[in-house]
A and B are shown apart, each in its own frame.
Chain A
């Protein structure tokens, strides 16, 4: 029989934030239903409600017309709903087959002993059916992200689920793996599986989905068959056009030289790189992953001592291995690319996260001056337009964009002279991006030098005063605003630029 799930009137709040507001959502076996929206739109929350990871405040969930109670992950699984999470839900120290059979292991008949051979055999057979080869006995920690994704999908496939929720499943996959995934999906569809496909890649959605639903601010704003709508309609319902409002003002950076990097090399990372950075200038480094530019940027901040060559800051040569504490004292700041692991202290409040680098400067008689901290925190939240219900809220409850703003706000005090940014807009939505760009521009106007690593060429072209392209650890060429040539830049970072022909 053909199963279906109907969610009606779903509501959920976190503190003062209304994450889901009267949401209706349905999914039918044999169909792919794409769920679209910017970060923070509520799609992940909705799926967590369906998967039993969080409990809804209002609404009902029906399967085949009958009410079902989903109060935990086990309930969701019991009715055949399987989740493939954006964060891997695998256990690193267990094997592939252990992971696939986790929670429903196979035993030797009549004994408590695991039948490892049978589990491995079944996994191997199932992989083979989908044209994949992966040793089921390998530990998950030794797999690459594409292989981990395969294990996640296989686990769902082998759990006799009829509804599979995939949260941006292609984000970590190579082109080959993506093709394989779509092949999977078509196959599952033909076998009567329902798939909820969370993504914002329009070609993927219109390629495999029967239905598309768009969420914005916790509400459904569009729900159509893909044959009855267009990519343009979906995109415009996701957001306004905030990015178009942002036009880079033209200016020539004529400040003093702040940072001077000369012939800096690090084995197998970057080679013989030289550049200057002036006050008030936005210098962007770009390339492909593995180009060495992020490591170079971290070296400037003092996170690395294993380099050769000279780095001078305000005409003083920096000692290798001086460490980030010295960098902060010298007026440098860093916002890392791994916001959640290196950027924030998740269990602490928004206030403490902002105050952390200011503590030393906010002492009076050796004690922390709380009034000064409060002032600082209020201003930081206002300046970055970060959305938080209160400064004392724990930062881990904020969306990616808001966490990033908090990471920025730490460096907005006036002693800052050089800010190093690594992928400043990674994984955040369009609204937050525009705010981040505004902050960067304001800092530059104030005379702060910005050294930014970005892999997004459009961002680079839009934001930079000057661009240096990197390929395999070498700086290829330099471009000065407004003489940006996007095609040449792309050729540089792909290793096919004119300078690299020799």
Chain B
């Protein structure tokens, strides 16, 4: 196979994203203006955090459905502490502690009680949703103003939002952990074959619990970022939309939904793709009700074309 063909196959999401950029640009050049790209970079931060946490969970052969609603819950936790103390330090501490605890709960249920991750995290999703409504009754909201929120929400460094820098740094860290420490190797091994990973002496339970604690922590971060971007918190925030965007991003980025295969770089491109599509549909004044339909179609078209190309290449290769 030629180098170009190999690049197309393994880095196809780059081409899909660039092709979408071109199409959007032809429709409306403003989409690729510096201002708008900057806006996209801020919009994708919560999705990106969820995608990153979800990435490790999915590669290990599991799924964490609780991430979206949990991030809403953690945003509310932050808001409540902010309302009580007027500061964020205690709130941030509470978010980190409770998000790790939630992840630990998910992990123990999956690793020790051998419950399917789908069921455990689906239950936790509902519990998080319920607790959010319990803390702040529906229809009410807490406004988050001042220092921390405007700083993280709108301050820039080298022309790029701090929140995006944070996301990039976290992806960079994840890249190193995934590719250059034994944690990454263990996660891939477990995702391929738990039995074989166990035979190799890997402590599967510990790895799984760790993965879920990380995805919990990512939900916590996503909640914080959500609150800084919105400037308020309420239980009606669309946590599940975030979750699905995050899952879509990593799958588009080439992560196998069945586990065992995926790259951090691919996940990041998938995230850019999702961010771009979300933003374009907003900017092109697509009616809200059609927004999701179009998003589905764009994803289907992009991946479908890709899949068909890939298959025809496979066929000619043999």
Q: Kindly state whether residue B289 has any CB partner on chain A within 8 Å.
A: no
Q: Kindly state whether residue B312 has any CB partner on chain A within 8 Å.
A: no
* Known contacts A93-B192, A94-B189: A114-B202 contact under CB 8 Å: no
What separation, in Å, do the CA atoms of A73 and B197 have in the docked complex? 11
Q: Kindly state whether residue A365 has any CB partner on chain B within 8 Å.
A: no
Tally of contacts, chain A with chain B, CB under 8 A: 55
Q: Kindly state whether residue B200 has any CB partner on chain A within 8 Å.
A: yes
Question: Residues of B contacting A202 with CB < 8 Å?
Answer: none
Interchain nearest-CB distance for B28 vs A (Å): 41
What separation, in Å, do the CA atoms of A107 and B200 have in the docked complex? 17
Q: Kindly state whether residue A104 has any CB partner on chain B within 8 Å.
A: yes
Interchain CB contact (< 8 A) of A102 among B176, B185, B191, B195 = B185
Within 8 A of B (CB), among A281-313: none
Residue ID in chain B nearest A88 by CB atoms: B196
What separation, in Å, do the CA atoms of A112 and B182 have in the docked complex? 8
Would A112 and B181 count as touching, CB distance under 8 A?
yes
Q: Kindly state whether residue A77 has any CB partner on chain B within 8 Å.
A: yes
Residue ID in chain A nearest B259 by CB atoms: A93
Q: Kindly state whether residue A337 has any CB partner on chain B within 8 Å.
A: no
Residue ID in chain B nearest A52 by CB atoms: B199
Would A113 and B180 count as touching, CB distance under 8 A?
yes
Question: Residues of B contacting A107 with CB < 8 Å?
Answer: 182
Would B192 and A114 count as touching, CB distance under 8 A?
no
Question: Residues of A contacting B193 with CB < 8 Å?
Answer: 89, 91
Q: Kindly state whether residue B40 has any CB partner on chain A within 8 Å.
A: no
* Known contacts A102-B200, A102-B202: A92-B180 contact under CB 8 Å: no
Q: Interface of chain A, helix or strand or loop or mixed?
A: loop
Q: Kindly state whether residue B114 has any CB partner on chain A within 8 Å.
A: no
What separation, in Å, do the CA atoms of A81 and B166 have in the docked complex? 47
Q: Kindly state whether residue A105 has any CB partner on chain B within 8 Å.
A: yes
* Known contacts A73-B201, A102-B200: A93-B188 contact under CB 8 Å: yes
What separation, in Å, do the CA atoms of A269 and B154 have in the docked complex? 63
Residue ID in chain B nearest A106 by CB atoms: B182
Would A89 and B196 count as touching, CB distance under 8 A?
yes
Interchain CB contact (< 8 A) of B196 among A77, A91, A105, A112 = A91
Question: Residues of A contacting B196 with CB < 8 Å?
Answer: 89-91
Q: B-side interface residues toward A, CB under 8 Å? A: 176, 180-182, 185, 188-189, 191-193, 195-202, 260-261
Q: List 26 A-B contacts (CB under 8 A).
A: A73-B201, A77-B201, A85-B199, A89-B193, A89-B200, A91-B189, A91-B192, A91-B196, A91-B260, A92-B192, A93-B188, A94-B188, A98-B185, A102-B185, A102-B200, A102-B202, A103-B201, A103-B202, A104-B201, A105-B182, A105-B185, A107-B182, A113-B176, A113-B181, A114-B181, A114-B182
